[in-house]
A and B are shown apart, each in its own frame.
Chain A
Amino acid sequence: MIDQGLKNMELLQSPSDLEKLRKSILAKKDPNAPAIAICVSTGCEALGVKSDLKAFEEQLKKHGLEDKVEIRETGCLGFCEMGPRIVIYPDEIFYFQVKARDVPDIVSKTLMNKEAIERLFYVDPITGKSARNLSEIPFYKYQNRLLLDSNAKVDPKKIEDYIALGGYSALARSLYEMTPEQVLEEVKKSKLRGRGGGGFPTGRKWESTRNAEGEPKYVIVNCDEGDPGAFMNRALMEGNPHSILEGLIIGAYAIGSHEGFIYVRQEYPLAVENMQIALEQAEKYGLLGNSILGSGFDFKVKIHKGAGAFVSGESSALMTAIEGKVGEPRPKYVHTSERGVWDKPSTLNNVETWANIPIIINKGAKWFASIGTEGSTGTKIFALAGKVNNTGLVEVPMGMTLRDIVYKIGGGIRNGKKFKGVQTGGPSGGVIPEQYLDSPVDFDELAKLGSIMGSGGMIVMDEDTCMVDVARYFVNFLCDESCGKCVPCREGLKQARKILDNIVTGKGKEDDIEKLKDIAEATSAAALCALGQTSANPMLTTMRYFKDEYEAHIKEKRCPALVCKNLISYYVDPAKCAACTLCSRNCPVNAIEGERGKIHIIDQAKCTKCGTCFDVCPPAFRAIRKLSGEPVPPPILEKNRWIKKDKKGAAN
């Protein structure tokens, strides 16, 4: 259907052509026609949305509805935890955790008889209330989904859906009603700051590339989302690629660039695919290529796939990677905005930054700057994950407090556990403890607490998370990902990892905390790029806010969170053991002795502390205990091991 439309389509030559096209698309769309919107992004795919999709196709066919009901495959709506998620139009009924076996009911009841199915509604785990609309779900209620909202409305593989929503009108406006200087001025006035982590004012970056000498100039989209724990760039590129592309073309026009790159990590195949399709479709309509919309402005884009290196997300490293070389950073005496790809002026912005541009042009800088805080305007998408009830993508105005994000939107900590800290900014960020939960989240406030905004990862940690182990995890990550070009980062991180390894294995020494602090500070002062410079954050924040945990590991050889393998033991509580053999059958090293009716005992010499027994012991018993810093009680006497009716037998 699209293909035919495109074939007959002549290149759009003016804003009025675009408007005509938009009206003709809308005319063909009946807002009251039944439709099913299904999230097919990677998250829902992992939860089996493909079989739902197949079931819908079969059921619609069975009822002869295949031509009457549109199946719209959309991008991520953010609430991945509760996927697969589908929306039934025109009534906008939201169903969560839909399985293929629910599909016949949805088709016969909801689609054919307008009957809602209660059991598929979202149920608030705290209040027990079910919600029919998004506005009733706390996860969505407190958000301001400036960027993510469109994900539910467009099929990312159809440019027509984006145009129907007013897509590319900001581009038309920029090209026809504004000079490049005016566009630049508008972005500067919006006070938009880079969403990739650094928070550099976007308008100033553009200006410096615009004013730099040298041709050609390049514009680049950074979708090398290497921060573990962040996936907003993926969701935007998978779910609404045209919004990023439109922003990029507007930026190119303001900067005076005619060539762009979209750098996507190869771990995101669907994002690559959808962006590729977006480029082809935009080109066919004349929204990309020569004389865009008949304005005389030329711009072309190429996709470059990243090959898996965290450090390549750094701007100078990414540009080297685009040149086909090893993506290592270089000293930035001269900014990449002046000398970047092939030594030409290059502006690189994050996916989310670019996606904000069309909104700024359409709604105005003043409107945009009214959202958020004085120093950080607009919204920010966070990837809320970890030990929180509602996980997923959360878009909120800058300045919302951490507490509101974790408790109001995130629904608090899982399984009634106690909050310990929230880690922001990926491996280069820090952990923020409970006493700062009321801090507003923006670029400057997070920096004050020793963390960073980063690209927006937000990982909630509870009492079962060991902060020393977390610091070791990040240092280990950074150590592996350090390119090795500069000594402070290469050697400093290696030494830091050694010390942290010692601490978590019970070999820590009294002066380790001091030493670690020295190394962290020296690395951060002397490293070449942001990877090394910010590597101190995970160490310094955990040492500052959770010093008692470090001391427990070093002095008492105890892991208070019961995480560090070498410092814990597993033990079967004889008072609770029901002798069901579940743990002994699942133990991979046969370290658990016992049989049905006979209380189990773990052979401490054989135990590898894999934790399988702890996982499989039924919640009704909870007989497996983790111990740290105390000796394992001696095994109970053989004659007391028989329980229930076998007791008699044992007594004989």
Chain B
Amino acid sequence: MSINRIDRIIDKYGCEKGVLIQLLLEIQRELNWIPPEAIIRINKRFKIPVSEIYRVASFYTALSLKPQGRHLVRVCAGTACYVRGGPRILDSVERTLKIKAGETTEDDKFTLETVNCLGCCALGPVVEIDGQYHGKLSSATVAKLLSKYD
């Protein structure tokens, strides 16, 4: 993992107050996870205790302390999707990818997560794959959708 890339992100934020969460979000976006090196680097540069950085990184769902797969699949578990069969969509994705929510496939292809609401409630059930939203799904169509990714 390149320390340079992490440093570049840190440099962008300078030493302003309260940047920790924004910084971690950007590292997450760039590297797909928060590697231990990044935490140590932030600790060195900002003098924020390692324990505090870990606390923040483990509290928020958008931050991952494990490496993630190439494709991030997020199944909406919001209320509107739930009453329109969201749990069955999740079942179908779990069955297709052979992993549970929160896990990554062995070939590092997919990471599966649930998300509380994607704000597309009128189109439920909704799944987001790599930032692309897919609405009005059924357990059969979502399996087909996943087969398009490699």
Contact = CB atoms under 8 A, between A and B. Distances in A.
Interface string A223-245: 00111111100100000000000
A46 B135 contact: yes
Contact of B119 (A267, A384, A391): A267
Contacts of B40: none
B14 interface: no
Nearest to B20: A324
Contacts of A308: 60-63, 115
Contacts of A426: 79
B72 interface: no
Contact of A326 (B25, B55, B61, B123): B55
B79 A615 contact: no
Contacts of A386: 79-80, 83-84
B121 A383 contact: yes
B140 A229 contact: no
Contact of A322 (B18, B55, B122): B18
A83 B122 CA distance: 10
Interface string A326-341: 1100000000000000
Contacts of A533: none
A347 interface: no
B77 interface: yes
Contact of B121 (A229, A461, A473): A229
A79 B121 CA distance: 11
A610 B133 contact: no
Contacts of B84: 386-387
Interface centre among A266, A305, A342 (most CB of B within 10 A): A266
Contact of A385 (B20, B122, B133): B122
Given A307-B25, A324-B21, A615-B140, A80 B122 contact: yes
Interface residues of B, number: 47
A305 B22 contact: yes
A327 B135 contact: no
A473 B82 contact: yes
B24 interface: yes
B40 to A, nearest CB: 18
A363 B28 CA distance: 45
Interface string A464-501: 01000010011001000101000000000000000000
B65 interface: no
A211 interface: no
Contacts of A304: 18, 21-22
Contacts of A323: 17-18
Contact of A612 (B126, B131, B139): B139
A225 B121 CA distance: 13
A420 to B, nearest CB: 10
A451 interface: no
Nearest to B46: A324
Given A324-B17, A386-B84, A387-B84, A616 B140 contact: yes
A43 B136 CA distance: 11
Contacts of A326: 55-56, 59
Interface in B77-116: 77-80, 82-85, 88, 91-92, 95, 115-116
A226 B117 contact: yes
A282 B19 CA distance: 24
B120 to A, nearest CB: 5
B126 A423 contact: no
Given A326-B55, A457-B79, A473-B82, A267 B118 contact: yes
A268 B122 CA distance: 16
Interface in A132-149: none
B119 A225 contact: yes
A325 interface: yes
A80 B135 CA distance: 11
Contact of B139 (A81, A227, A611): A611
B43 interface: no
A178 interface: no
A586 B88 CA distance: 14
Nearest to A269: B131
A310 interface: yes
A229 B79 contact: yes
B80 A615 contact: no
A588 interface: yes
Interface string A293-330: 00000000000110111100000000001111111000
A228 B83 CA distance: 12
Contact of B140 (A322, A393, A612): A612
A470 B136 CA distance: 21
Interface in B33-82: 52, 55-56, 59-63, 77-80, 82
A268 B139 contact: no
A47 interface: yes
Contact of B18 (A268, A324, A465): A324
Given A307-B60, A326-B59, A465-B83, A228 B21 contact: no
Given A308-B60, A323-B18, A459-B83, A42 B120 contact: yes
Contacts of B82: 228, 473
Interface of A: 42-43, 45-47, 79-81, 83, 225-231, 234, 266-269, 304-305, 307-310, 321-327, 342, 383-387, 391-393, 423, 426-427, 457, 459, 461, 465, 470, 473-474, 477, 481, 483, 586, 588, 610-612, 615-616
The 8 closest A-B pairs by CB, nearest first: A228-B78, A307-B60, A80-B122, A46-B133, A324-B18, A385-B80, A231-B119, A228-B117
19 contacts: A43-B122, A81-B122, A81-B123, A225-B117, A228-B82, A267-B115, A307-B21, A307-B62, A324-B20, A385-B79, A393-B122, A427-B79, A459-B80, A461-B83, A465-B83, A474-B79, A610-B139, A612-B88, A615-B139
Given A309-B61, A325-B52, 16 more contacts: A43-B135, A47-B135, A80-B120, A80-B123, A228-B77, A228-B117, A229-B117, A230-B119, A305-B22, A308-B115, A324-B18, A327-B60, A457-B121, A483-B59, A610-B88, A612-B140
